[in-house]
Chain A
Amino acid sequence: MKFTIICSALLLLLGLRFRESVSVSTEIYTIQDVLEESMERGAEIYEDYCIQCHMGKGEGTAGIYPPLAESNWLTPERIDEAIAVVKYGQNGEIQVNGATYNGVMANLGLYEDEVADVVNYIANSWGNSGNKMVTEAYVKTIIEE
């Protein structure tokens, strides 16, 4: 029994390695791979720039730092506004999931590719989904109002 499990685990690992090497050598990337890589980079940026206020699971702090988890800003309708906040910062009253927040988020000084990566991470984590992948080129088109 134990042996079978170890064997299957080994096979699975080998399979994964094989898949990786194939995809690298033939350069067949799906949009899913590209998104996952962007999210991985985004997770690192999140830990450096965002986690101290928005917390480890995007839960924020009630009444002070708005949640990113299951946020109504991280939906196809409002993702542009979210990108603008990450790109430029935010000051003043906003509504998130029906609650009012009145704070200051400094301009983080992120490069446009970093904005794309961290937004991809946030917009596809903690219950957020359904958003198109954000690219550096798209971030360039978002201009502060």
Chain B
Amino acid sequence: MKTTLTALMLSFFTLQLCAQEAAPNPNDFDLVTNDDYTIEVVVPELTNPWGLAFLPDGALLITEKAGELIHFKDGIKTLLTGVPEVFARNQGGLLDIKLHPDYANNGWIYLTYSSIEGEESGAHTALIRFKLEGTAITNIEKLYKGSPNTRKAHHFGSRIAFDAQNHVYFSIGDRGARDENPQDITKDGGKIYRLNDDGSIPSDNPFVNASDAKKGIWSYGHRNPQGLAVHPETGAIWNHEHGPKGGDEVNIPEAGKNYGWPVISYGINYSGTEFTEITEKEGMEQPIYYWVPSIAPCGMDFVVNSAYTELDGDLLVGSLKFKYIERLKVKGNKIVGREKLLDEAGRMRNVVMGPDGHIYLGIEGLGIAKMIKK
């Protein structure tokens, strides 16, 4: 009796211990430090440079999360006018910005932000497109607005990417309603969306014929995706997303597929307790890579035709938490190695492959920096 009790207590104690931290990734790679690179600040004095786009004339468009859209050229910052009001609380604000692939001919610029538009108080993620005339943004077209608004101020997503057919993809996080939104295709949040470039729903979207579904959904079961990029060779869309305590993921989201949040996860609650016991389930996709502990990934891009050919084809991911750039070595659709670049360079908010062959980074409390080889 006594031994049974002790054994019981011991196993209880062990369970408690296990639950404090998420289980490590058994297939993980060593994170090897690579000191070959450094940064050069190109736009100083920014607080939270969330999004970045390169205009053909060499100017940069930078979103500051607090709600400013900055035009930067020849050392001069100009605040653009006409920017919609944003919900600038916690993770909300002005988010990603991307030029249309055919910008040279059509002039469209795409923007996501935390929009207060709607009857309910609070906010939800919106996608708009606009044109630039002088220092004003004009011709604003609303392409998508998540609903209903909520006062929850976390998990808005959001990143924007275009595929070769000019579909626009963007992400919305679960909006703090983990148990309501991500698994329900009739609700916004916890999804990656795919629209035609004018905001209409592509006829081959996976849920166009599902009754009551949000027809813009491309994939679901996501937590808070803040990285989205198109693979330079396969053309497939890749994303990463924040897990809770452990369980940040890289996925290659496919049409109509369920990425499992919060039914399956490699993470645990912030309090150390578990919210799910399972990491796999039929009908739910496994990530191609996951991080334990969480690195808090934000921003990512593939390295293509770069000034550092040794990195070409690999994926660079920003780490907010550990203040470095993670190089994920990519082979086909697999991650085959990890490196830590730019150790301690700052809280990485954004990673963009620039037209000049250099990687540009949005670093909190610093600005926009260019990654250069030492």
Contacts and interface: CB of A to CB of B under 8 A. Distances in A.
Contacts of A49: 90, 153-154
Contacts of A142: none
Contacts of B346: 104
B153 A106 contact: no
B321 A108 contact: no
Contacts of B347: 103-104
Contacts of A108: 89-90
Interface stretch (B53-61, B72-80, B228-236, B264-272): B264-272
Interface string A40-58: 0000000011011101110
A64 B296 CA distance: 12
B152 interface: yes
B322 to A, nearest CB: 7
Contacts of B152: 48
B321 A55 contact: no
A106 B65 CA distance: 10
A21 interface: no
A51 B270 contact: yes
Given A91-B365, A104-B347, A106-B364, A48 B269 contact: no
B330 interface: no
B47 interface: yes
Interface in A14-62: 48-49, 51-53, 55-57, 61
Contact of B153 (A61, A65, A109): A109
A16 B347 CA distance: 49
A131 to B, nearest CB: 23
A48 B364 contact: no
Interface residues of B, number: 26
Interface residues of A, number: 19
A42 B153 CA distance: 14
Contacts of A64: 321-322
Nearest to A63: B322
A104 B321 CA distance: 10
B322 A56 contact: no
B176 A48 contact: yes
Nearest to B269: A56
A145 B364 CA distance: 20
B321 A107 contact: no
Contacts of B270: 51-52, 55-56
Contacts of A57: 271-272
A60 to B, nearest CB: 11
B181 interface: no
A110 interface: yes
A31 B271 CA distance: 29
Interface string B151-188: 01110000000000000000000001000000000000
A109 B272 CA distance: 27
Interface string A97-141: 000000110111110000000000000000000000000000000
A52 B153 contact: no
A106 B271 contact: no
Interface in B71-122: 88-90, 92
A128 B217 CA distance: 45
Nearest to A46: B270
A121 to B, nearest CB: 14
Contact of A55 (B66, B92, B245): B245
B321 A61 contact: yes
B365 A104 contact: yes
Contacts of B226: none
B239 to A, nearest CB: 19
Given A49-B153, A49-B154, A109 B271 contact: no
Nearest to A89: B47
Interface in B323-354: 346-347
B251 interface: no
A110 B92 CA distance: 12
Interface of A: 48-49, 51-53, 55-57, 61, 64-65, 91, 103-104, 106-110
Interface of B: 47-48, 65-66, 88-90, 92, 152-154, 176, 242, 245, 269-273, 296, 321-322, 346-347, 364-365
Given A56-B271, A109-B90, A109-B92, 6 more contacts: A48-B154, A53-B321, A55-B271, A56-B270, A104-B364, A106-B48
Nearest 6 pairs of A and B residues by beta carbon: A56-B271, A109-B89, A104-B365, A56-B270, A104-B364, A51-B270
7 contacts: A56-B245, A56-B273, A104-B347, A106-B48, A107-B66, A109-B88, A110-B89
